[in-house]
Amino acid sequence: MSDIVIGFSGLGISLLLIAMRVHIGVALGSISLLGIGLILNSKAAWGMITATPFNFIGNWTFTAVPMFLLMGFMCTSTGLTKGLFHATQVFFTRLPGGLAIASVGASALFASACGSSVATASAMSRIAVPEMLRHKYDKGLATATVAASGTLGSLIPPSIIMILYALYADTSVGKLFMAGFIPGILSALIYIAMIVTRVKLKPELAASVDTIYSKEEKIKAAKDIWPLPFLMFMVLGGIFFSVFTPTEAGAIGATLSMTIAFFRKSLTLESVKKSLGQTVRGTASIFIIIIGTSFLARFMALSGVPQFLAEGILSFGAGPYSMIFGVALLYLFLGMFVEPIGLLLLTLPIILPLANSLGVDLIWFGIIIVKLLEIALITPPVGLNVYVIKGALGELVSLNTIFKGVYWFIFMDVITLLLLVIFPEITLFLPNLMWK
């Protein structure tokens, strides 16, 4: 059996195990080690077991992951994200579909703070959806807005997915953060434009809200959420202006979130314990996947699968756009049964060599990948965010209703993705401006 056959067979078996709900890190790690043993020998595979995990995880830059996770969990457990929906509701409620627009803004801010699209969907489904349904909003529009808007946190920095991509691709985390800013805002604006257009054409989708908020109420609402924009400004500003590294930024962000919560008298022993516990569990899960994918990267390199695919693409004269189209199809398929971080780490050992062989800008490519991961979170039949909202609302809204509403947002995501692919300047403008 040739090395190429072993490589492709290993990938197939790994995907089968993942589809059978075996933990992605365990599936990738075990099959990769078996494949390495077949290509080389069992001694070489055993040597990688003892050395690779420590060498990989011991990388200083990986400490950014638990630090940003801690910052996110601290923000949510101490109530720093509390009032986001109300604040955005105050400012947007008079617009057509104002509550849905408020949900887009609140979900985007919440997701960027906590770093988890799934957590955002879970939280906002209990806050925003009942409020929209109380005002006679269409059930599909209400639920789909929250499902789709939660995905914006992957593009709007700081983003755990961006950090992991940057570490694997050996690119600047700061540049990637800056690159995601405009695409993230663009995605939100396209969502809002679609909501406003649909409600204007079909007013029964969203009943108008007659509540008029005073200037004092608007000021109070803005004051309630000031910690979050301040925290984001300090963390991202420090990275963009090279005051500190992304790894240091995570630690500073976690410290600032605790300090702000302390002065707001919302920092309790219970919130600290909860945040630390969630951080430990989240970090452990991510690192297990990282270890598994590190074995996969070694396995793929030894088998020659990435080189084989690269040569095949180049021999047909395919360029970057053909490769991106193929990657998009791959992500839409695998996204049906693999969660975003797992999907990212599963595919990077294969697609990064392809991107390098075609001379693709890895910052631009990274934003494309993140956008594809966002879309995978809401695509049927297994859109993770959709099922989270269904689980939170129970029998109040059917699964079919949510998916019907989500199609509108998927279409908007495709438009955004096409704009990012056709016009790389949208992505690269800010990084090029900051790092000339």
Radius of gyration of the chain (CA): 22
- Confidence band of 136 (pLDDT split at 50, 70, 90): confident
Q: How far is CA 273 from CA 73, 77, 264, in A?
A: 11, 10, 18
**Least confident stretch, 57-61, 70-74, 269-273:** 57-61
Residue 100 has pLDDT above 80, yes or no: yes
Q: How far is CA 116 from CA 68, 101, 339, 362, 364, in A?
A: 11, 20, 11, 23, 22
- SS3 category, 27: helix
Biggest CA-to-CA distance, the chain: 75
Looking at residue 428, its pLDDT comes to 93
Domain range summary for the chain, segments of one domain joined by +? 60-293+304-434
Q: Higher model confidence: residue 12 or residue 388? A: 12
**pLDDT tens figures, 11-22:** 889 878 877 878
Please count the CA atoms within 13 angstroms of the CA of 339 that sit on its side-chain side. 18
**What residues contact 284, with CB distance under 8 A and at least 6 apart?**
none
Residue 311 has pLDDT above 60, yes or no: yes
Q: How far is CA 332 from CA 338, 396, 399, 418, in A?
A: 10, 28, 20, 15
- Report the alpha-carbon distance of residue 365 to residue 182 in Å, rounded: 15
Q: Which amino acid is at 208?
A: S
Looking at residue 337, its pLDDT comes to 64
On average, the pLDDT of the chain sits at 82
- Confidence band of 187 (pLDDT split at 50, 70, 90): very high
**pLDDT tens figures, 312-360:** 665 655 678 888 888 888 887 777 667 777 788 888 888 888 888 888 8
Looking at residue 316, its pLDDT comes to 59
Closest CA to 147 of 111, 181, 182: 111
- CA-CA-CA-CA torsion sign (123, 114, 232, 406): negative
| CB contact at 8 A, 384 and 134 | no
Secondary structure element (H or E) that encloses residue 202, with its range: none
Q: How far apart are the first and last CA of the chain?
A: 50
Q: Quick one: average pLDDT of 359-368?
A: 92
- Report the alpha-carbon distance of residue 112 to residue 371 in Å, rounded: 14
Q: For the whole model, what pTM was predicted?
A: 0.79
Q: Where are the alpha helices (DSSP H) in 225-319?
A: 227-240, 246-263, 269-303, 305-315
**pLDDT tens figures, 218-248:** 777 777 777 777 887 888 788 777 787 777 8
Which of 58-67, 285-294, 394-403, 410-419 holds the top average pLDDT? 410-419
Looking at residue 368, its pLDDT comes to 94
Q: How far is CA 196 from CA 84, 100, 132, in A?
A: 21, 9, 15
| CB contact at 8 A, 298 and 353 | no
